[in-house]
Amino acid sequence: MTSHAYRVGRGISDVTGEASGCGMLGYGKADQVSAGIHQRLRTRAFIFVDEASGDRLLLSVSDLPLMFDSVHRAVLQRLADSYGELYTDRNVMLTVTHTHCGPGGYSDHRLYNATTHGFHPRTFRAIVDGIVEAIDHAHADIAPADLTLSHGELRDASVNRSPQSFARNPRSDRDAFPDGVDPQTTLLRIDRDGSTVGAINWFATHGTSMTNRNCLISGDNKGYAGYHWERLVHGVDYLAPGQPEFIGAFAQTNAGDMSPNLNRGPGSGPTDDEFENTRLIGARQAHAAAALAAEAGQPVTGGLDVRMTYVDLADVEVSPEFTGDGKTHSTSGPAAGAAAIAGTDEGKGFPGFKQGRNPVLDAISRRVIYPVAARQRDSQYPKSLVIPGATLNRMAPFVQHVVPVQLFRIGQLHLIGIPGEVTIVAGLRMRRAVADVVGADLHDVLVAGYSNAYIHYVTTPEEYDEQRYEGGSTLFGRWEAPALTQIAVSLAAAMRDGVPVDRGTPPPDLSHTRPRVEPAQMDHPIEGTRFGDIVSAPIGTYRPGEQVRVVFSGAKPSNDQRRNSTFVEIEIQRAASWERVIDDGDWATKFAWQKLPRGRSRITITWDIPADVEPGIYRLRYLGDAADFQGRLTEFGGTTAPFAVTRAGAVAR
């Protein structure tokens, strides 16, 4: 294989949406509404350029719940405005980490805004602006770099949440995962002049360490992993001007049935504290990635390549080679099953539905719907049909069915861009099929899930038959995974043979369906106060391990997301000046908003003082923006009196 020289650019930005009053996305709970920030959501972009050919690929990894066509389309349009044909839907892969505690309401498809209280233009803009900013930074950062690929195993950060479904797969597949989990952790390391300046890690586990009871914005375990490696290990200051010396992304792969809740319950495992679980599972991913980064690794060689096509998943004829039963089958229009409405063991859905068999609904589908719809029966049986997405799509854009499928090659690494949540065995079959075509090692072929759009779950036909949550959420039926595997193989064959593929027809532009008006909601300070006044002040002295808690008279954080900035600053006194050492993106802080009657807001800020804190004199600042009756914003702030943080030991108070 011929060695290739690469140039690489890295970029990072803030995609934190509205921290107040915005329905969160992932669990589908209308009462899970944003009410503050635990950690900010980041997006990280990487641009790879082949020196010899000039080919380039752009990979973005965002701490977001889901990727939708709305964002994909808007980002591509912005890139076209700035760079012409340099970055297009062909060579751009936008992926997410799938946190379940990020603001939603940024899709053009109705289903995903149903529990987020509609479309939220502010959150949509924050996401698109942040992704484009990170890409701009990466474009400006392009410079010669060496790439290294490493693989390892991580076995204490995931568990199979649907063992019944997994058990239906043939032994030849199950034997690849003796513990029912995909332990592979893969690292692409980026070095310049002998120093590591960036890395992308792929590992399969869900972003559900935080439960559906949490209303503070959180990047969940993968968000913490990025924070741990960048901030705690490399000392990155996210608010400093310019781009940091190191950027580390933690991307998803085939995580459809992988849960971080090791005890198989909401917020349970390794501990019974969802915040501690988020930290531990994230730290384990960061430590595994750092261990791989310390290895020599395998030099990346072979240049760059990409194939991409749009496909209508509601109408794919799947050949016997991929169906597994020697017959040709077809997918059908999207439909959600009773098991999808039931939710998972990590987050219960609507009452009256359950995973597995639903006798009454099963009977209705079996006796009423399937007898008159032979194609639907072949595709969707034994699903209990509850939400007929195909029918609803004829009335309004409900779910997406025309989606991009992509294949990236970065040297020997192949990424199959799938717009859904692929189970480990469905992913294994795709990876094996692509690896066989291109002649790659199986470890070097990964499913890049949650890419460019969203179609819910992708299960094997055997897993589909169990009709647990994942199978009920496989919208396009029993043959969806074989269809996607067939498409991936066609892309791989075209890549191997050096021939183009039919781009297909992109989905329709639905941006005209978005609301254009953001109603103004006037803020008022708590009675008897001004904006920024302290309602509950800190005490005079603290020790490591204690918590500083301050309450302010504030305003809605959604007025201004303060992207690439902060609502919170904790400062230490150095000589005659104050230096910011902590902000609202740090793990030790929580910024909580409480809605009060008549447009009033109570802001509570806590700081859990770490054991290794620097002793000194500190103060805490709150920064906010208040809206008048016309929606015009006025910036304000509040600052506590100085307080002391001493070394551990007895303190006189």
Q: Which of 41, 94, 98, 40 has the alpha carbon at shortest distance from 66?
A: 98
What's the Cα-to-Cα distance from 383 to each of 34, 66, 346, 387, 391, rounded to whole Å?
A: 34, 24, 21, 11, 16
Other Cβ atoms closer than 10 A to 272: 11
Beta bridge partners of 542: 645
Element (H, E) at 200: strand 195-202
Note whether 260 and 209 are within 8 A (CB).
yes
* CA separation for the pair 406, 58 (Å, rounded): 12
Give the CA radius of gyration of the chain.
25
**Which DSSP state fits 613?**
P
Note whether 611 and 648 are within 8 A (CB).
yes
Query: Roughly what angle, to the nearest 10 degrees, separates helices 121-141 and 69-83?
Result: 40
| Catalytic residue (choose from 13, 34, 259, 379) | 259
Note whether 605 and 557 are within 8 A (CB).
no
- What single-letter amino acid sits at 519? P
Query: Roughly what angle, to the nearest 10 degrees, separates helices 480-497 and 424-438?
Result: 20
**Which DSSP state fits 322?**
H
Note whether 106 and 66 are within 8 A (CB).
no
Q: Which of 179, 98, 161 has the alpha carbon at shortest distance from 355?
A: 161
* CA separation for the pair 94, 477 (Å, rounded): 25
**Which DSSP state fits 63?**
-
Tokens of 526: 């708590």
Report whether the peptide linkage leading into residue 270 is cis, meaning its omega lies within 30 degrees of zero. Answer: yes
For 433-501, the DSSP string reads HHHHHHT--GGGEEEE-SBSS--BEE--HHHHHH-SHHHHTBTT-TTHHHHHHHHHHHHHHHHHHT---
**Which DSSP state fits 348?**
B
Catalytic residue status for 259: yes
* CA separation for the pair 496, 363 (Å, rounded): 48
* CA separation for the pair 26, 348 (Å, rounded): 12
Tokens of 623: 């920064």
Residues labelled catalytic: 259
